Amino acid sequence: MMIEKINVNKQGGARLTMRVDGAARGNPGNAGIGGIVSDGDDNELLSFSEYIGETTNNVAEYSALIFGLKKLAQFKSSSIIIYSDSELLVQQLNGFFKVKNAGLKPLFEQARRLLSKYTGVTIYHVPREANKEADKLANQAIDGYLAGNKDIVKIEGLSDGSHEVPGQKSFF
Distance CA 78, CA 15 (A): 7
108 in a domain, yes or no? yes
Domain range spanning residue 88? 3-146
pLDDT tens column, 135-150: 999 999 999 999 998 8
Q: In 3D, which of 118, 68, 74 has the Cα closest to residue 89?
A: 68
Distance CA 87, CA 22 (A): 12
Distance CA 127, CA 34 (A): 16
49 in a domain, yes or no? yes
Distance CA 139, CA 146 (A): 11
Residue 30: count other Cβ atoms within 10 Å of its Cβ.
19
70 in a domain, yes or no? yes
pLDDT tens column, 63-117: 999 999 999 989 889 999 999 999 999 999 999 999 999 999 999 999 999 999 9
Residue 57: count other Cβ atoms within 10 Å of its Cβ.
17
Q: How many domains does the chain have?
A: 1
Q: What is the largest CA-CA distance in the chain?
A: 42
166 in a domain, yes or no? no
162 in a domain, yes or no? no
% of the chain residues with pLDDT over 90: 72
pLDDT at residue 171 in the model: 34
45 in a domain, yes or no? yes
Residue 158: band (very low, low, confident or very high) from pLDDT cuts 50, 70, 90: low
163 in a domain, yes or no? no
CATH code of the domain in which 122 resides: 3.30.420.10
Distance CA 153, CA 172 (A): 9
Distance CA 172, CA 154 (A): 7
118 in a domain, yes or no? yes
Q: Residue 147 carries which DSSP code?
A: T
